[in-house]
Structure 1
Amino acid sequence: MADTRNPAIVVVDDEPDVLRAIARDLRRQYGESYRVIRASSGAEAVDAVQKLTERGDAVALVLSDQRMPDLDGVATLKRVAEIAPAAKRAMLTAYADTDAAIGAINSGRIDYYLLKPWDPPEEKLFPVLDDLLADWRGTWRPGFGGFRLIADRWSSDGHRLRDFLSRNQIPYTFLDVERDESACELASGATLPLVVTPDGAHLENPTNAEVAQASGLSQTAEREFYDLAIIGGGPAGLASAVYGASEGLKTVLIEREAPGGQAGTSSRIENYLGFPSGLSGADLARRGVSQAKRFGVEILAPVSVESIRAEGPYKILSLSTGSEVACHALMLATGVDWRTLPASGADEMAGQGVYYGAAMTEAIGCQDEHVFVVGAGNSAGQAALHFAEYAAQVTILVRGDDLAKSMSQYLVDRIEAHEQIEVCLGHEIEACHGNGHLERITIRDREGGGTTEVETHYVFVFIGATPQTDWLGDFIARDDKGFVRTGPDLTPEDLAHWPLARDPFLLETSVPGVFVAGDVRHESVKRVASAVGEGSVAVAFVHQHLASL
Structure 2
Amino acid sequence: MGAMANPVILTVDDDPAVSRAVARDVRRRYGDRYRVVRAASGPEALDALREVKLRGEQVALLVADHRMPEMTGIEFLEAAMDIFPAARRVLLTAYADTDAAIEAINVVDLDHYLLKPWHPPEEKLYPVLDQLLDAWSASPDAALTEIRVVGHRWSAPSFKVRDFLARNLVPYRWLLADEPEGARLLDAAGATEAELPLVVTAEGKAMVQPSQAELATLAGLAVVPATDFYDLVVVGGGPAGLGSAVYGASEGLRTVLVERRATGGQAGQSSRIENYLGFPDGVSGAQLTDRARRQATKFGAELLSTREVVGLGDAGSARVLRFDDGSEIAAHTVVLATGVSYRLLDAPGLSDLTGRGVFYGSTATEAPSCVQQEVYIVGGANSAGQAAVHFSRYASRVHLLIRGADLTASMSRYLIDQLDRIDTVTVHPHTTVVGAQGDDHLRRLTLCDGRTGATRTVDTSWLFIFIGAEPRTDWLDGVLVRDRKGFIVTGPDLLADGRRPAGWSLPRDPYHLETSLPGVFAAGDVRAQSVKRVASAVGEGAMAVSLVHRYLEAQ
- TM-score band, normalised by the shorter chain? 0.7 to 0.9
Structure 2 residue aligned with 1:534: 540
Indicate yes or no: 2:146 matched with 1:146: yes
Letter in 2 for 1:196: V
The C-alpha deviation readout for 1:278-331, integer Å capped at 9, x for no partner, is 101100100000100111001111211121111111111122354321100100
- Percent identity between the two aligned chains: 49
In structure 1, give the amino acid aligned to 2:315: E
Structure with the greater alpha carbon radius of gyration: 2
Mapping 1:321-332, distance limit 5 Å: 321-332=325-336
Distance in 1 (CA, whole Å) between partners of 2:311 and 2:507 is 27
**TM-score, normalised with respect to structure 1:** 0.73
1:358 deviates by 3.7
AA matched with 2:351: D
Counting only pairs closer than 5 Å after superposition, residues 20-419 of structure 1 correspond to structure 2 as 144-178=144-178, 180-188=179-187, 189-190=191-192, 191-419=195-423
Equivalent residue, structure 1, for 2:477? 473
Distance 1:161 1:452 in 2: 34
Which amino acid in structure 2 is aligned with residue 349 of structure 1?
Answer: L
Contact kept, 8 Å, 2:500 with 2:509, in 1: the verdict is: no
* Match of residue 547 from structure 1: 553
Tell me the alpha carbon deviations over residues 221-259 of structure 1, each in whole angstroms, 9 at most, x when there is no partner.
Answer: 112211111000100001111111111111110011111
The equivalent of 2:494 in structure 1 is: 490
1:508 is aligned with what amino acid?
E
Quick one: distance in 1 between partners of 2:301 and 2:316? 25
> Are 1:423 and 2:427 matched, yes or no?
yes
* Aligned amino acid, residue 519 of structure 1: D
Q: Is the 8 A contact 1:477 1:484 kept in 2?
A: yes
Q: Give the drift of 1:411.
A: 1.1
**2:292 maps to amino acid:** G
Give the equivalent residue in structure 1 for 2:102: none
Give distance in 2, aligned partners of 1:145 and 1:367.
27
Answer yes or no: is 1:517 the counterpart of 2:505.
no
State the distance in 1 between where 2:542 and 2:500 align.
25
3-state SS of paired residue (1:310):
strand
Contact 2:144–2:202 (CA under 8 A) maintained in structure 1: no
Structure 1 CA distance for aligned equivalents of residues 464 and 182 of structure 2: 28
CA RMSD after TM alignment: 1.3
Cα deviation 1:40-64 (Å, max 9, x = unaligned):
xxxxxxxxxxxxxxxxxxxxxxxxx
Equivalent position of 1:95 in the other structure: none
Residue 356 of structure 1, CA deviation: 0.9
1:322 and 1:361 map into 2 onto residues whose CA distance is 33
Aligned residues: 407
Which whole-Å CA distance do the structure 2 matches of 1:379 and 1:483 have between them?
20
Is contact 1:373–1:397 with CA below 8 Å preserved after alignment?
yes
Counterpart of 2:339 in structure 1: which amino acid? G
Query: Secondary structure of 1:272's partner?
Result: coil
TM-score by length of 2: 0.72
Q: Distance between the aligned counterparts of 1:518 and 1:429, measured in 2?
A: 30
5+ long unaligned stretches in structure 2: 1-141
> 1 CA distance for matches of 2:235 and 2:143?
35
Does the 8 A contact of 1:371 with 1:459 survive in 2? yes
Deviation at 1:491, TM superposition (A): 4.7
Q: Is the CA contact (8 Å cut-off) linking 1:218 and 1:300 kept in structure 2?
A: yes
Counterpart check, 1:440 vs 2:444: yes
d(CA) in 2 for partners of 1:415 and 1:487? Answer: 39
Residue in 2 aligned with 1:460? Answer: 464
1:143 positional shift: 7.0
Query: Contact between 1:152 and 1:176, CA under 8 Å: does it hold in 2?
Result: yes
Give 1:184 shift: 2.4
